[in-house]
Amino acid sequence: MRPGLEPERRDAARNRELLLRAARELIEECGADGLTMGTLAQRAGVGKGTVFRRFGSRAGLMMTLLSDAEAHFQGRFMFGPPPLGPGAPPLERLIAFGEERIAWVLEFGELARAADVSAYNRFDVPAAVLWHRHLEMLLREAGVTTDPWLMATSLSAVLEPERILHAVRVHHIAPERLAASWRELVSRVVRGA
Amino acid sequence: MRPGLEPERRDAARNRELLLRAARELIEECGADGLTMGTLAQRAGVGKGTVFRRFGSRAGLMMTLLSDAEAHFQGRFMFGPPPLGPGAPPLERLIAFGEERIAWVLEFGELARAADVSAYNRFDVPAAVLWHRHLEMLLREAGVTTDPWLMATSLSAVLEPERILHAVRVHHIAPERLAASWRELVSRVVRGA
DNA sequence: GATCAAAACGGACTGCGGTCCGCTTCTATT
DNA sequence: AATAGAAGCGGACCGCAGTCCGTTTTGATC
């Protein structure tokens, strides 16, 4: 989490733990949208400035809270067992990627939404870039030769947390139906190649 | 714009014109993101409460500013000449819809982003619902029988202003390349039917 | 023209994310 | 143990969207 060689000062480390613990508690109680930076500071017993020094912004805090789940997911599709991980045919990996991503969004989506940096560069956070590259690679392997980069962009758009949560929570679409639609979409994209 | 039968009071009408004029000026000068409700009130010479009474929220104001362009676009794909309007084969209409929508986003996208109600129901504003229904209808006509509703959702996701603007402004993707990718995507989706 | 209720007005106020800067606490060095 | 300066701290402060409510304007009725 902190890649730097120089160690963290003891008070800083203690405050970070305090803040993360308090943040998880607050999210448990009020949901991610109900967490405010002021309340968090108060609950953790530190000043508001400390919260922002640690995490930069509200979105940064949410990204930190997500990073475990994110790293786990990344590990699975990059190094884990097929069909999500390497070893399966690309179309099957694409299908598995979407299915797993939908499940992931249903579990962590609220946090993921809160972690979206408002502004343009929400698509340039490392995790999003990695997902995009992964999709692009699978498309290439599956024989999609016409602009796989943009095609990966389109597929990423389909899997956005905001849309998925909206479909499930507002329109009561069953997750399995989302997965089926994803299978259909990605099959047609690849088969047309 | 105001569908009610009961007419608007004179002062209210005058202030609305004042506000719309001032808003357009400010957006000209500072961009949509640079417009603040306080500045707008000041520029128009009214109180801040009046601004919110008129438009409900910042997003509501932006939607009002967009409504002309939106109505024009809607008229074109519903009643205008083919291939965008009725008369052409569905695949051609789908292709034309995406192409025109990309062009529309490049012209009005900043406003459209500012008009997005933060929260879940951004997809349930009338214009978004109409676009979605239109896509779904074209998909059905083109022979897509497996869950056209969700397929239309996916295609809508691909055309979101935020992504398109990001691709063009940050990654310097040429609009024509976006259009080509859309053609490819939608052709494959339909041909797989 | 006087009257009056409803509609609209305006600006002080709240709560939020985020910044700033003088003060405190740590740790490396001697 | 003394010291120095870097790292961290805290909370007053800012600008913003949005709310509230006492005051003013409007236009239908008489």
**CB-count exposure of residue B81 (10 Å: 0-12, 13-18, 19+):** exposed
Chain A interface disruption, residue of B163, B168, B183, B186, most A CBs within 10 A: B163
Tell me, what's the pLDDT at A103?
A: 98
Which residue's entry shows tokens 């009338």? B126
Same domain for A105 and A157? yes
Indicate the residue among A24, A56, A88 that finishes a domain: A56
Same-domain status, A91 and A112: yes
Give, in Å, how far the C1' of C13 lies from the CA of B137.
49
Taking residues A100-106, report their average pLDDT: 98
Nearest neighbour of A181 by CB, restricted to B150, B166, B170: B150
Residue from B186, B2, B6 nearest B98 by CA: B186
- CATH number at A23 reads 1.10.10.60
What is the distance between the alpha carbons of residues B159 and A150, in angstroms, rounded to a whole number? 12
Tell me if B120 and A154 make a contact (CB, 8 A cut-off): no
The answer on pLDDT for A83 being more than 80 is yes
pLDDT of residue B121: 79
Considering the domain architecture, whether residues B68 and B141 belong to the same structural domain is answered as: yes
Helix pair A90-115, A126-141: axis angle to 10 deg: 160
What Å distances lie between residue B43 and A193, B22, B31, B103, CA to CA? 56, 6, 15, 31
Three-class SS state of B146: coil
Nearest to A164 by CA among A110, A115, A120: A110
Query: Does B32 share its domain with B66?
Result: no
B141: three-class secondary structure by DSSP: helix
Mean pLDDT of A28-47: 96
- Domain of residue A101: give its range: 57-191
State percent of chain B over pLDDT 90.
91
Residue B88: helix, strand or coil by DSSP? strand
Angstrom distance, B30 CA to D18 C1': 22
> Which nucleotide C1' is nearest A53 CA?
D8
Total domains present in chain B:
2
Residue B111's pLDDT is what? 95
3-state secondary structure of A163: helix
End-to-end CA distance of chain B: 40
For residue B111, give Cα distances in angstroms to A157, B53, B93, B115, B167.
Answer: 20, 20, 26, 6, 17
CA of B52 vs chain A CAs: smallest distance (Å): 23
Task: Measure CA to C1' and name the residue nearest C16.
Answer: A36
Of B163, B169, B170, the CB nearest to A157: B163
| CA distances for B117 relative to B15, B63, B120, B128, angstroms | 24, 10, 8, 12
Percent with pLDDT over 90 in chain A: 91
Residues B21-29, mean pLDDT to the nearest whole number: 97
Domain finish residue from B56, B72, B103: B56
Residues A104 and A136 reside in one and the same domain: yes
Contacts of residue A9, defined as CB under 8 A and 6 or more positions apart, other chains included, come to none
Return the axis-axis angle of helices B148-158 and B126-141, rounded to nearest 10°: 120
Residues B5 and B99 in one domain: no
If asked whether residues B82 and B176 sit together in one domain, one would say yes
Same domain (yes/no): B80, B47: no
- How big is chain A, counted in residues? 193
A38 touches strand C (CB under 7 A): yes
- Residue B78 CA and nucleotide C17 C1' are separated, in Å, by 43
A49 with A67, same domain? no
pLDDT digits (tens, 9 = 90+) for B122-168: 899 999 999 999 999 999 999 999 999 999 999 999 999 999 999 99
Instruction: Compute how many other C-beta atoms are within 10 angstroms of the C-beta atom of residue A101.
Output: 23
DSSP secondary structure letter of residue A173 = -
| pLDDT of A118 | 73
Question: Residue A81 carries which side chain, given as an amino acid letter?
Answer: P
Q: What's the pLDDT score for residue A7?
A: 77
CA atoms within 13 A on the CB side of B127: 19
Chain B residue with CA closest to A166: the answer is B120
**B34, B56, B78 - which closes a domain:** B56
> In the structure, what pLDDT confidence band is assigned to residue A6 with cuts at 50, 70 and 90?
low
C-alpha–C-alpha distance, residues A129 and A55, integer Å: 21
**Res A5: pLDDT:** 52
The SS3 assignment for B86 reads strand
Q: Are residues A113 and A167 in the same domain?
A: yes
* B39 Cβ nearer than 7 Å to chain D strand: yes
Residues B42, B63 within the same domain: no
